[in-house]
Amino acid sequence: MNTFHLAGYPRVGAKRELKFAVEAFWKGQNTEEQLCQTAAGIRRQNWQTQIAAGVDLLAVGDFSFYDQVLDTLCTLGAIPARFGFDPARLSLTQYFELARGNADQVAMEMTKWFDTNYHYIVPEWHSDTQFSVHAERLIAQIKEAQALNQDIKPTLLGPISLLWLGKEKEDGLKRLDLLPRLVPQYQKLLRELANAGVDWIQIDEPVLAVDISPEWLAAFEPTYRELAITGTRIIISTYFASVVEHLNLLQKLPVHGVHIDCVRAPEQLNVFADGWPQNKILSVGLIDGRNVWRANLREVINTLQPVAEKLGNNLWLAPSCSLLHSPQDLAVEEKLPAEIKNWLAFAAQKLQELGWIKQALAHGCDSIQQILADSDAAATSRRHSKLIHNDAVAARVAQLRPNADQRHSPFAQRIEAQQAWMHLPLLPTTTIGSFPQTTEIRQARAAFKKGDLSAADYETAMKKEIAYCVEVQEKLDIDVLVHGEAERNDMVEYFGEQLEGYCFTQFGWVQSYGSRCVKPPIIFGDVSRPKAMTVNWSAYAQSLTKRPMKGMLTGPVTMMKWSFVRNDVPLSLVCKQIALALNDEVLDLEKAGIRVIQIDEPAIREALPLKRAQWDDYLAWACESFRLTSTDAADSTQIHTHMCYSEFNDILPAIVSMDADVITIETSRSDMELLDAFVKFKYPNDIGPGVYDIHSPRVPTEAEVSHLLRKALDVIDQRRLWVNPDCGLKTRAWPETIAALQVMTDVAKKLRQQLTD
Ligand code: GLN
Ligand code: ZN
């Protein structure tokens, strides 16, 4: 029989139980014991689901209160010394402080996990970073799983990826130089796990899927030679892209098995299967851990059968990557159209699919005859469904006029037309769009959705929020205002709900960072906009003020990247369709008197293919799609865009090619690191590097904000520089928001004064 295993299962709970328990703990409404009970309940439930699906090795070590990279750092004692915490006695409160900051220390940096929308905590490396093993937490979870009388397999992030994912916090330090210090601790950790009865362990080395240098690659053999002698059997796991270029290395590595992602890189399957060493496991991920589509079981089985003949029991079956990136259970969805629901599979269903595949490989396709017939029928229904194909959309994309993606005039001319009516001071201030989403706002939205609040009452409630938000910004003397996005649950879902071709789930939550989850919509068909989506709210907000009001849209790449996307047409086509739908909205906003429009593209960088060789192609259609959103916008209409976490030094030319009049970006957590790029390559249009971190409730000091702004002024022309926070403020509370923005505007005014004196 082929062993069926998985790297990890969603951990927030089918109804986000963990999120609510964690947040209650932060607010002091929940004890540590209660929180731990909730967590244990989720783990138990997850293991039961795995057992029911026929998993051979239960996943352990995939649970986390905040982030698995942070957990790995804690397990290896590698927490930043600046916090002054003793790694041997780290409390849960201290653990959360590492992630969220405290009164004395800013939070550890966070960034996207490869090309997903999951954020991990970035390790901080110093020349004197010390490692020590603290495996109690992990071992306790292993014991819980073992108590279910099942074989288990913990998942650990590997030493090379752990180092690679971190940042050197000292000049001259090369993080790879820490490896000799780190490997003995991994060795010790694996020994402790072996003592706890762990036979198999999965060690993730996702860096193998990106372009890493020969120096890093060379570290693999010696490292795994050391780890091979610890008494556990290691399966080394890769995902998100092809690792075919490392075939030789992976064949020779002294480990017991290798996992490859054959959803993202199906072409590597046969290359790996041919001549695979007889004494090694090859784990094949043919069920998509990152998307929601039901597998075409017959196709998957047909693909696997010849591999199974070659490899026998050395073929293992798994999802392509951890199911962390997939919603948990389709069965709880009650509102999806039946036709569409039949095309989908979430984490629980993906495990079932793997169970069936395993059965078919062992006992033949006849043993799952009905299951296969159902899967065939779903595939046929999806291929031909009227819900998917829209001729008008296809025609519009096909008939785009030449240069449809270019504004009428170049930036130099546009900015004059904009300044002529905007009358902005030097260093104009603005925000990124959202303001605190208070409990009242959420309650009103929920009540409206349930039908407990009438449309009229809902509108009144939202308008009250908008009015308050405008009033606050006027008091703060911010220059370009926003309406605050009170009506939006989520920047992608809000638009997805109003576009054709999208559907949405009730409980399809996926962890984004910490306790924050997103519920990505599903793009199942051709996209179009039946009617205006934001105009009423923005026009109302504009009616309350003389200052420019920014309209707020989510860009096509982000709309796509933060959704589950159909896999039956190229991504570039989906992206263009969304761009044209947004263009309709831009023109409607203009007509309604909104002359500053921000089109957020926080996802543009994370959507980069992991392999550089594919970047140019992606950037060409991604940037073209962005530009298409502003087709026919007047020169005097100021188009903003916003990006978070954009370490975009390496894609600056593409960002420039998007030709937004103003770009705002996340920079404060990395101390304006992105500005390095400006030394080499001047950004020609206006730019607002974020001057404080919005991911923590901490109010920045004037000195901090002014330090960041002065750094920016060193490399950016003062006439091009804007002042704004790093990102939207929806996750913050009002008091800290007002206090932080006050600091921001005060500093801007003082600097303005100094610059004009
Ligand atoms: N306009 C959005 C907001 O402020 C942008 C969010 C984001 O960049 N992730 O919430
Ligand atoms: Zn942002």
**Dihedral (Cα; 386, 391, 392, 395), 10-degree rounding:** 160
Q: Which ligand is nearest to the CA of 117?
A: 1
How far apart are the C-alpha atoms of 165 and 711, rounded to whole Å?
A: 26
Strand, coil or helix: what is 231?
coil
Provide the 8-state DSSP code for 127.
Answer: T
- Cβ–ligand 1 distance for 663 under 6 Å, the answer no
Q: Which ligand is nearest to the CA of 552?
A: 1
C-alpha 95 to ligand 2 mean position (Å): 25
| Helix (H), strand (E) at residue 520 | none
Say if CB 589 and CB 551 are below 8 A apart. Answer: yes
3-state SS, 282-336, equals EEEEEECCCCCECCCHHHHHHHHHHHHHHHHHHEEEEECCCHHHCCCCHHHCCCC
Residues of the chain with pLDDT under 50: none
| Helix (H), strand (E) at residue 361 | helix 347-363
**Atom 5, ligand 1: which residue's CA is nearest?**
728
Which residues, including other chains, have CB under 8 Å from residue 574's CB and lie 6 or more apart?
A: 523, 527, 560, 565, 566
**Atom 4, ligand 1: which residue's CA is nearest?**
728
Say if CB 425 and CB 752 are below 8 A apart. Answer: yes
Q: 701: which 2 tokens?
A: 């000091």
Q: What pLDDT score was predicted for residue 490?
A: 87
Say if CB 706 and CB 750 are below 8 A apart. Answer: yes
- Cβ–ligand 1 distance for 552 under 6 Å, the answer yes
Q: 101: which 2 tokens?
A: 């900051």
When computed from its CA atoms, the radius of gyration of the chain, rounded to whole angstroms, is 26
Strand, coil or helix: what is 480?
strand
Instruction: Give the mutation target among 469, 481, 491 for probing the ligand 1 site: most ligand atoms within 8 A of CB.
Output: 491
C-alpha 728 to ligand 1 mean position (Å): 4
Which residues, including other chains, have CB under 8 Å from residue 236's CB and lie 6 or more apart?
A: 158, 202, 203, 204, 205, 224, 250, 253, 255, 257, 258, 259
How far apart are the C-alpha atoms of 538 and 201, rounded to whole Å?
A: 53
How far apart are the C-alpha atoms of 582 and 565, rounded to whole Å?
A: 17
Report the nearest atom of ligand 1 relative to the CA of 602: 8
Q: What pLDDT score was predicted for residue 672?
A: 75
- Cβ–ligand 1 distance for 434 under 6 Å, the answer yes
Among 172, 146, 176, residue whose Cα is nearest residue 159: 176
C-alpha 687 to ligand 1 mean position (Å): 16
C-alpha 269 to ligand 1 mean position (Å): 39
Among 302, 289, 263, 283, residue whose Cα is nearest residue 348: 289
Under the phi-then-psi rule, with left for phi > 0, alpha for psi from -120 to 50, and beta for the rest, what region is 295? beta
Strand, coil or helix: what is 512?
strand
Q: How many residues does the chain have?
A: 757
Max distance between CA atoms of the chain, in angstroms, equals 84
Under the phi-then-psi rule, with left for phi > 0, alpha for psi from -120 to 50, and beta for the rest, what region is 285? beta
C-alpha 434 to ligand 1 mean position (Å): 6
Tokens 């906003």 correspond to: 589
How far apart are the C-alpha atoms of 641 and 404, rounded to whole Å?
A: 19
- Cβ–ligand 1 distance for 555 under 6 Å, the answer no
Q: What pLDDT score was predicted for residue 670?
A: 76
- Cβ–ligand 1 distance for 602 under 6 Å, the answer yes
- Cβ–ligand 1 distance for 234 under 6 Å, the answer no
Q: 114: which 2 tokens?
A: 């490869």
How far apart are the C-alpha atoms of 259 and 283, rounded to whole Å?
A: 4
Tokens 């105009």 correspond to: 535
CA distances from 78 to 126, 132, 205, 220 (A): 10, 7, 18, 21
From the list 5, 483, 695, 707, the catalytic residue is 695
Among 152, 652, 731, 685, residue whose Cα is nearest residue 413: 685
Torsion sign across C-alpha atoms 574, 522, 42, 447 = positive
- Single-letter amino acid, residue 295: A
- Cβ–ligand 1 distance for 727 under 6 Å, the answer yes
C-alpha 491 to ligand 1 mean position (Å): 7
Say if CB 505 and CB 333 are below 8 A apart. Answer: yes
Q: Which ligand is nearest to the CA of 644?
A: 2
Q: 645: which 2 tokens?
A: 């976490």
Query: Is residue 318 exposed (0-12), middle (13-18) or buried (19+ Cβ within 10 Å)?
Result: buried
**Atom 9, ligand 1: which residue's CA is nearest?**
602
Catalytic residue list contains 119: no
C-alpha 196 to ligand 2 mean position (Å): 43
Tokens 């819900």 correspond to: 387
Report the nearest atom of ligand 1 relative to the CA of 488: 10
- Cβ–ligand 1 distance for 730 under 6 Å, the answer yes
- Cβ–ligand 1 distance for 644 under 6 Å, the answer yes
Helices in 401-521 by DSSP H: which ranges?
411-422, 439-450, 455-476, 493-496
Q: 714: which 2 tokens?
A: 């060193």
Q: Which residues pair with 691 in a beta bridge?
A: none
Please measure the distance between the N-terminal and C-terminal CA atoms of the chain and give it in whole angstroms: 79
How far apart are the C-alpha atoms of 109 and 169, rounded to whole Å?
A: 12
By DSSP bridging, strand 550-554 and strand 596-600 are parallel
How far apart are the C-alpha atoms of 122 and 109, rounded to whole Å?
A: 5
Q: 433: which 2 tokens?
A: 């769009």
Q: What pLDDT score was predicted for residue 677?
A: 77
- Cβ–ligand 1 distance for 582 under 6 Å, the answer no
Instruction: Give the mutation target among 469, 495, 549, 600 for probing the ligand 1 site: most ligand atoms within 8 A of CB.
Output: 600
Q: Which ligand is nearest to the CA of 597?
A: 1
Report the nearest atom of ligand 1 relative to the CA of 432: 4
- Cβ–ligand 1 distance for 430 under 6 Å, the answer no
Q: Which ligand is nearest to the CA of 491?
A: 1
Q: What pLDDT score was predicted for residue 646?
A: 55
Q: Counting runs of H as helices and runs of E as strands, what totals does the chain give?
A: 28, 21
**Atom 10, ligand 1: which residue's CA is nearest?**
728
**Atom 1, ligand 1: which residue's CA is nearest?**
433
- Cβ–ligand 1 distance for 728 under 6 Å, the answer yes
Q: What pLDDT score was predicted for residue 676?
A: 76
Among 147, 205, 141, 158, residue whose Cα is nearest residue 11: 141
Q: What pLDDT score was predicted for residue 645?
A: 63
C-alpha 602 to ligand 2 mean position (Å): 6
C-alpha 437 to ligand 2 mean position (Å): 15
Q: What pLDDT score was predicted for residue 757?
A: 84
By DSSP bridging, strand 500-503 and strand 167-168 are unpaired
- Cβ–ligand 1 distance for 600 under 6 Å, the answer yes
Q: Which ligand is nearest to the CA of 601?
A: 1
Which residues, including other chains, have CB under 8 Å from residue 141's CB and lie 6 or more apart?
A: 43, 60, 61, 63
How far apart are the C-alpha atoms of 535 and 694, rounded to whole Å?
A: 27
Q: What angle do CA 314, 318, 323 make, to 5 degrees?
A: 160
Number of C-beta neighbours around residue 750 at 10 A: 13
How far apart are the C-alpha atoms of 101 and 692, rounded to whole Å?
A: 13
Instruction: Give the mutation target among 434, 561, 665 for probing the ligand 1 site: most ligand atoms within 8 A of CB.
Output: 434
**Atom 8, ligand 1: which residue's CA is nearest?**
602
Q: 68: which 2 tokens?
A: 């698995």
